[in-house]
Structure 1
Amino acid sequence: MAKKHRKWEKFPGRNKFYCNGRLMTAKQTGVFYITVLLIVFTSGLFFAFDCPYLTVHLSPVIPVIAGAMFIFVLSSLFRTSCMDPGIIPRAMGDEAAFIERQIEVPNSSNCQLSAPVRPPPRAKEIVVCGQVIKLKYCYTCRIFRPPRASHCSICDNCVDRFDHHCPWVGNCVGKRNYRFFYSFIVSLAVYCIYIFSCSVAHLMLITIGESKDLIDAIRDSPTTLTVAVICFFSVWSVLCLACYHTCLIMSSQTTNEDVSSYFSHILSFKR
């Protein structure tokens, strides 16, 4: 008796599946592991060397807040990385053939070509609520993808409301996981600011409370300086990214749409 294969086992994209197909990531996830390592490493130093001192000399609430934020940041990251971003299933077999028959490809019987030439871009228009909407055809997935969807060349999938492919989270960002991606970058920015502030407070308490110079305070707690430096240089990029996506949400755009419109404007200006 032939073994039945699940859909994820015959999935034609470039994704990796785990837990019997319940979790999925992009094929290239090396940068994602760097993201996890940076967060865990920095947090580990903070909890091991800063929190005991701050608990005694400042407040026992500090590690509690940091722990809650750490869990929220990692949970948002893994939910973004391991869930379906909104992949649109490819057309297979009879469905693909039916769609192909709907497309009119201009042919010239008088012109003989030595090599096959890819036909021009295909599209069709549909009417939704009285509005004419243009659907683009995807040659790889062999479907007319819905509006705001786009094909990711890295994962080789059409993704609904495609925002971008983010190597830092190891997955595409689309309709289904965008809210988790946004909560991740916002919470990470707040978390970096919080840890940086606590690390600076740790050094200041050593300097003022023990009447030492800043250099001596750094010598007493060099890991605190390490945590502060990592957070200081990380927070700017994360904070800018969070502000950028906040603006995109307010204007109801995706990163792909914003970048595409920008380059369209540049090309039209040059012409």
Structure 2
Amino acid sequence: ISLILITVALFFGFECRLTLVTHLPFGFFIPIVCGLLFLFNMGCLLRTAWSDPGIIPRASPEENAYLERCLQDENTHEYRPPPRTLDITINGAPIKLKYCFTCKIFRPPRASHCSMCDNCVGESSSILRLNHTNRCPGHVLYILICFFSIWSVVGLSGFHSYLVGRSLTTNEDIKGTWSKKRNRDNQNPFDQGGLW
């Protein structure tokens, strides 16, 4: 938030106000568009930061006791550890649900255990050149911030656009869950048939 606010303040304080005093056609639109983009970016950032990541409730003591009773060996009545996977079918494709020994549940499809919060979690710049010779103090800072952040933003945006287009989660892409290289008959049951 600090990087965004500092950069936007410098831009509006030095560069953007120059568009209002130069003879740039429709230059007054630049501050309006930049202000709207700033509000949109901050809204998306804050909504992402403050929204629930999709924490899946852990098994209650009663649910855990029931599962343990179901998993007792019928002959010896001794407890045996739960199976590591449970096979189900979604849209005609077989899916393996993994058992989480911490949360005591079979994780739903596309969920994983987060080591940070210790819970199972479900799915989860234009450049304007003005013809002026004045150099403002913000130029060097603009260039440095843009240079180092543009590559990460473009890379991350491109990667997530690819994931959206393929209907994949980051975890599925890294593990190659639906990769045709693993199995030619592999089919992503969550794929809706294209980007749109």
Same fold (TM over 0.5): yes
Let me know the Cα RMSD of the aligned residues: 2.5
Structure 2 residue runs of 5 or longer lacking an equivalent are 180-196
TM-score by length of 1: 0.57
Q: TM-score, normalised by structure 2?
A: 0.77
**Matched position secondary structure for 1:249:** helix
Per-residue CA deviations over 1:130-174 (Å, capped at 9, x if unaligned) read 55432111111111111111111111111112xxxxxxxxxxxx1
Call closer, same or farther: CA 1:131–1:52 in 2, change over 3 Å: closer
Instruction: Provide the rounded CA distance (Å) in 2 between the counterparts of 1:248 and 1:148.
Output: 13
Match among 148, 152, 158 for residue 237 of structure 1:
152
Opposite residue 229 of structure 1, the aligned amino acid is L
Please state how far the C-alpha of 1:123 moved relative to its aligned partner. 1.9
1: CA distance, partners of 2:64 / 2:171 = 27
Partner of 1:50: 15
Question: Corresponding residue for 2:191?
Answer: none
C-alpha deviation, 1:46, in angstroms: 0.6
**Mapped pair 1:250 → 2:165:** yes
Unaligned runs of 5+ in 1: 1-35, 109-118, 162-173, 175-192, 208-216, 265-271
How many angstroms does 1:80 deviate by? 0.8
Cα displacement string for residues 26-49 of structure 1 (whole angstroms, at most 9, x for unaligned residues): xxxxxxxxxx11111111111111
* Residues 102, 132 of structure 1: alpha-carbon distance in 2 compared, 3 angstrom cutoff: farther
Question: Which has the higher mean CA deviation after the structures are superposed, 148-157 or 226-235?
Answer: 226-235
Report how far residue 91 of structure 1 moved.
0.9
Which residue of structure 1 lines up, in the alignment, with residue 132 of structure 2?
Answer: 206
Residue 82, structure 1, aligned to residue 59, structure 2 = no
Match of 1:227 in 2: 142
CA–CA distance in structure 2, aligned partners of residues 63 and 39 of structure 1: 16
Equivalent residue runs for 1:1-271 within 5 Å: 36-57=1-22, 58=24, 59-103=27-71, 122-128=84-90, 131-161=93-123, 174=124, 193-194=125-126, 197-198=127-128, 201-202=129-130, 205-207=131-133, 217-218=134-135, 221-261=136-176
CA offset at residue 61 of structure 1?
0.9
Counterpart of 2:138, as a letter, is T
Shift of 1:60: 1.0
Q: Secondary structure at the match of 2:176?
A: helix
The change in CA–CA distance for 1:104 and 1:65 in structure 2 (over 3 A counts) is farther
| Runs of 4 or more above 6 Å deviation | none
Query: How many correspondences in the alignment?
Result: 170
- SS of 2:95's partner is strand
Q: Which has the higher contact order (CA 8 A, sep 6+)?
A: 1
- Secondary structure of 2:39 counterpart: helix
Distance change (3 Å), C-alpha of 1:132 and 1:40: same
Alpha-carbon distance, 1:78 to partner: 0.8
